[in-house]
Amino acid sequence: MSEELLAHYRQMQLIRRVEEEAARAYLAGKIGGFLHLYIGQEAVAVGSESAIRKTDWMIQTYRDHGHALVRGTSARAIMAELFGKDTGVSRGLGGSMHMFDAEHRFLGGHGIVGGHIALGSGAAFRCKYLKTEEVVLCFFGDGATPIGGFHEGLTLAAIWKLPIVFVCENNHYSMGTPMERTNPTSDVTLKGAGYGMATDRFEGHDVEVVVERMKAAVARARRGEGPTLVEILTYRFRGHSMSDPGKYRTADEVEEMKRTRDPVKIARERLLARGVAEEALATIDAAIEAEVADAVAFAESAPPATAEQMRQTVLAPSVAYPPRFDGAHAPFTVDAAPQADAQQGGR
């Protein structure tokens, strides 16, 4: 038991340290765009990964660094992605919100709230259609549950008994809006019951609890008994994104949650209580520090994307760049375009 918990502690600590360093780099101006941290919620991704096989699938919202890490994306590839480098997991084009790793069966990284839930059902349909016995875990926040895509995704999964577990990571806020202002009920599982599917609801600060409860839902999906909606009550210790003034909750509330519901702290204290030596944890922590420092150095040292790399990854191969209309090497201009079109009979 301690061996497994040690591995989970290691993963949670890695997620936390990667994100703390990402926040630091963001404030130093080295990371652009959005950055949504998962700090405080780590037990959900780690426990869920432990309940599935490497051949199963995960799909997640924009709060996706932890999920990519547990699937197997390296800290290097994640950090390089945040730094916008070609060596990043999405070749630097996705950034924080769009980590995507086909090799590790991680289907993103999606920026539109609720937009990926029907995609999760689609992936589960593929598993059922091809009889692969694989399962899809589809994660989203409390703020996604009033969205149309949520209801469409759940409806299809229920009708077709798809092998999918919908995991609502209820951290009680959608940006700065508390759940009671976005949902008529505080119990998300009532919505699953409305679609006739199995449900479960529990606090997700203790990784061992997450593993056990997720295993039950995954087993149900694998047995062909259809989807489960699991609501996991969790809490994010940082702002919604890096530009969150945090005025919608008190400092006391955050401090209390950190004191009583920090997944890394809970795991650490349990390991010590089970007789794991302080030095063993210190050794793990030191290895993580080295891994994270290496990831930052890797991300920083990679050259920025060249214009040619951007062209190759943004435009379809058949598109000339800059666009040419007459075969000559004249750059496209607004004035030249209609004339060129006319010469070629229009396009």
Ligand X SMILES: Cc1ncc(C[n+]2csc(CCOP(=O)(O)OP(=O)(O)O)c2C)c(N)n1
268, interface contact from ligand X, Mg ion, none, CB < 5-8 Å by kind: none
Pair 216, 173: CB distance under 8 Å:
no
What 3-state DSSP class applies to 3? helix
Q: What b-and-e string marks burial along 188-202, b requiring 16 or more CB atoms within 10 Å of the CB?
A: bbebbeebebbbbbe
Q: Looking at beta carbons only, is 33 or 178 nearer to Mg ion?
A: 178
Q: What is the closest distance, in whole angstroms, from the C-beta atom of residue 182 to ligand X in the complex?
A: 8
Which residue in the set 171, 199, 228, 234 belongs to the binding site for Mg ion (CB under 5 A)?
171
Site string for ligand X, 101-130 (x = CB under 6 A): ----------xxx-----------------
Residue 48 interacts with ligand X (CB under 6 A)? no
Q: What is the closest distance, in whole angstroms, from the C-beta atom of residue 179 to Mg ion in the complex?
A: 7
Q: Which of 129, 122, 121, 116 has its CA nearest to residue 67? A: 116
Residue 146 interacts with ligand X (CB under 6 A)? no
Half-sphere exposure of 111 (CA within 13 A, CB side): 9
Q: d(Cα 347, Cα 344) in Å, to the nearest integer?
A: 8
Q: Looking at beta carbons only, is 5 or 39 nearer to Mg ion?
A: 39
Tokens of 211: 């593993």
Q: Which residues contact 4 (CB under 8 A, 6 or more apart)?
A: 50, 211
Q: What is the closest distance, in whole angstroms, from the C-beta atom of residue 137 to Mg ion in the complex?
A: 17
Residue 94 interacts with ligand X (CB under 6 A)? no
112, interface contact from ligand X, Mg ion, none, CB < 5-8 Å by kind: ligand X
Q: What are the φ/ψ torsions at residue 189 (nearest 5 degrees)?
A: -65, -20
Site string for ligand X, 227-266 (x = CB under 6 A): -------------x--------------------------
Q: d(Cα 114, Cα 60) in Å, to the nearest integer?
A: 10
Residues making contact with ligand X (CB under 6 A): 63, 111-113, 141-144, 171, 173-175, 240
Residues making contact with Mg ion (CB under 5 A): 141-143, 171
